[in-house]
Structure 1
Amino acid sequence: MSTQAATAAARRGKLTPEREAELYEAVIGLLREGGYDAVTMEGVAARTKCGKATLYRQWGTKPRLVTAALDKHRCPVFTGIDTGSLVGDLREAARLAASRRERDAELMEAVSQAYIQHPDLRAALRETVLEPEVAALDRILARAVERGEIDAGNPAIAFVAPCFLGMLRIERIFEDRFADASTLRTFVDAVLLPALRAERSADGAEPGA
């Protein structure tokens, strides 16, 4: 746990779990209704009959409160996946992501523009929401390297997490192209696995280079 997260957790210790959940639900409700700009400390306080000072004392800033609410609401997707093979792990990651994307996509879209415009929100979301998922995907690849399934020097390794998470982000934008329920499984089989299995020639160059 980071220093910031530990400090926030210590502050939140004064709230009951029920009260904390109520505050988070108010934030999620405001996000759904009007996006990030619709969430204000005043609005959350009014909706929950909570003092605004309490919110600032517990979370310090609006980005921290929003990030905490999103983190509590979402279910980790890739953490804990370990089928014993790279193919199994990536296909399981695709299955889990597909089963949860509708639940999380709407909320992530609600903060996507704010993510670009507000550095504080971007930093908080990266630390709390994004980095754990990236780390879980990186562990899948590290185990595949240890098992000898892929080359440790394959440059495609660095692109797996960004590409996987990017697909989750753009699927709804390209719904005319990616409307099939098996989109993520196809992405794994047709794009990620071939790239990860690509072999280098004796001089270290990629085939065909």
Structure 2
Amino acid sequence: MSTASTTRTRLTPQRSAELYEAVLDLLREVGYDALTMDAIAARTRSSKATLYRQWGSKPELVAKALRHNKPVGAGDIDTGSLRGDFHAMVDSTDDCQLEKDSGLIRGLAQAIHHNPDLHKALRELIMEPEINEINTLLRRAVERGEVSADNPALGFVTHMLFGAFFARLMIDDRAPDRSYLSDYLDAVVLPALGV
């Protein structure tokens, strides 16, 4: 990742949110490969130097925009049961946002094959924190006695959850919605965990 963080100027949270939304809008419009820092600077009425100083690189800016777009982290959810926690995750978004995110995910999944820096940024800023948050939910479920600590499905929960998005897109050619994700949890993930 960039070492520019020690020299970055502070943007207000509102200005950062505006920049992130503009990045995501451009990403939806043109895709990752055609997205340029020049276009982001023009759309946000910023200088390219400011963007590089603040984020270091296009992959880092894209990954941070995606992370900012996430309404609530799974680690912040604690309903007292794993079933409740997983359903609260699904309920924390809406179908319109899921559809928008699915388009981004589809485009980025293609782009990471040709852009190792993007893959690294997405892994560090999106996937690893998400995996850690899901593991927090699972650890609490084990501590509560809901899931056996030796359940072999524990090591595959994040694969199942990430897979749900891609399977819906690839097999059904549809974006996952809350109903689909809720049914998937109840039919696949929770039974595999013995819940």
What's the TM-score bracket when you normalise by the shorter of the two chains?
0.7 to 0.9
What CA distance in whole angstroms lies between the structure 1 residues aligned with 2:87 and 2:46? 44
TM-fit CA distance, 1:135: 1.4
Amino acid at match of 2:159: P
Cα distance change, pair 15–194 in 1 and its aligned pair in 2 (3 A): closer
Aligned-residue offset at 1:63: 0.8
- On the 8 A contact 1:67/1:125 being kept in 2, the answer is yes
Is the 8 Å Cα contact of residues 73 and 130 (structure 2) preserved in structure 1? yes
Matching residue of 2:27: 31
Q: Give the aligned partner of residue 207 of structure 1.
A: none
Given that residues 134 and 161 in structure 1 are in contact (C-alpha distance below 8 angstroms), is that contact kept between their aligned partners in structure 2?
Answer: yes
- Stretches of structure 1 that go unaligned for 5 or more consecutive residues are 199-209
TM-score normalised according to structure 1 size: 0.78
1:1-209 pair list within 5 angstroms: 10-96=6-92, 99=95, 100-175=97-172, 182-197=179-194
Task: Name whichever of 46-55 and 16-25 sits farther off.
Answer: 16-25
Deviation at 1:21, TM superposition (A): 3.8
Q: Which has the larger radius of gyration?
A: 1
Over 3 Å counting, the alpha-carbon distance change for 1:29 and 1:188 in structure 2 is closer
Q: Within 1, Cα distance between the matches of 2:177 and 2:11?
A: 44
Shift of 1:142: 0.7
Structure 2 unaligned spans of 5+: none
**TM-score normalised by the chain length of structure 2:** 0.82
Preserved CA contact (<8 Å) 2:91 2:178: no
Q: Do the aligned partners of residues 160 and 8 (structure 1) sit closer, same or farther apart at CA in structure 2, a change above 3 Å counting?
A: farther
**1:98, 1:184 within 8 Å by CA — same for their partners in 2?**
no
Question: How many positions carry a matched residue from both structures?
Answer: 194
After superposition, the CA RMSD in angstroms is 2.8
Q: Distance in 2 between matches of 1:196 and 1:177?
A: 27
Question: Is the contact between residue 64 and residue 124 of structure 1 (CA under 8 Å) also seen in structure 2?
Answer: yes
Separation in structure 1 between the aligned mates of residue 21 and residue 177 of structure 2, nearest angstrom: 31
Aligned sequence identity (%)? 48
| C-alpha displacement of 1:111 | 1.6
Q: Letter of the aligned partner of 2:125 in structure 1?
A: T
User: Per chain length, whose mean CA-contact separation is higher, i.e. which structure has more relative contact order (CA < 8 Å, sep 6+)?
Assistant: 2
